[in-house]
Each structure stands twice: as C-alpha cells, then as structure tokens.
Amino acid sequence: MTRPGPLGIIAEVTHRCPLHCPYCSNPVDLVAAGEEMTLLEWLDILVQARDLGVAQLHLTGGEPLARSDLVGVVRAAHDLGLYTNLITSGISLTPNRARTLKDAGLTTSRSASKRPTRFSPTDWRGRPLTPEN
C-alpha cells in the first residue's frame, strides 16, 4: 500500500426514514428497502475500507436504525478496529437498542432532531454553525 486512502467513510446503510426533514441532503432517487446492500455486502465493504486505511465509519441513511441488522454492521466495524459513529434522529432508539449497539462496539452517536420552526445547526462540539464557518 503506497498511497493511503480516505480516513473515514460515510455509509448510507438505508434510505428508509420515518422523517421528511426539508433540509435533508439525501439523494432524491432513494433505493428501496428490497434493493439495499445486505449485511454481508457491507461487511465486505468494511474490510476493503479498513485495508485502504479508513479509521472511522459514520453510519447514516436515511435512518440507520431502520435496519434491524445495524448491530451486525457495528460489531464488524468494531472488530476491524474502526471508530464507529452513528448519526441518527434518535427516533426508534430504545434504551435496549442503545445498549446493544454500545455493547457491539459503537464508539459515539449523535442525534439531530430539528424542529421545523427553529433550525439552529451546531457542530459536534455544540458550537453554532454559521455560513461563515
């Protein structure tokens, strides 16, 4: 390996989502649930990513929690040594599911559920995001 690849990957594990946020940057042409990549296909991607030098996996969607096998992706990523970050609305995240994901090796999770009337985006440190930065 002479030229290391990317440091992180953003994995849109599903395009299913219970929300319809106006600011969502998802593709318009959504992949139907039946055509999503399988868990095994994701595992293959993760191994390839690790071999390329990827250190960080951001799980997003759609709503990543819409996949019942999400914990399998998390566990595999953890076993491969990836820092795993779940980006979720938090909707449908029960305490049990959160614990299962944490036990599987999820490193961090961040939620952004914005009220439509008041949209104040922040970065992960909680600092407001403005057009200038």
Partner 1 sequence: MNTETIAAGTEDGRRPALRRHFGLRWNDARQGHLLVGPETVVVLNDTGAAIIRLCDGRHSVDDIVDALSTAYTEVNRDEVVSFLSRLYRLQLADE
Question: 16: which 2 tokens?
Answer: 């299913």
Establish if 100 lies at the interface with partner 1 (CB under 8 A): no
> For residue 131, what is the enclosing H or E element?
none
32 scored as a contact of partner 1 (CB under 8 A): no
Residue 65 C-beta: closest distance to partner 1, Å: 18
Q: Where are the beta strands (DSSP E) in 30-106?
A: 56-60, 83-88
Burial class (CB in 10 A: 0-12, 13-18, 19+), 2: exposed
- Piece of 40-48, 60-68, 70-78, 104-112 that binds partner 1 (CB under 8 A): 104-112
Residues near partner 1 (CB under 8 A) are 1, 4-5, 7-8, 50-53, 55-56, 58, 81, 83, 85, 107-108, 110, 123-125
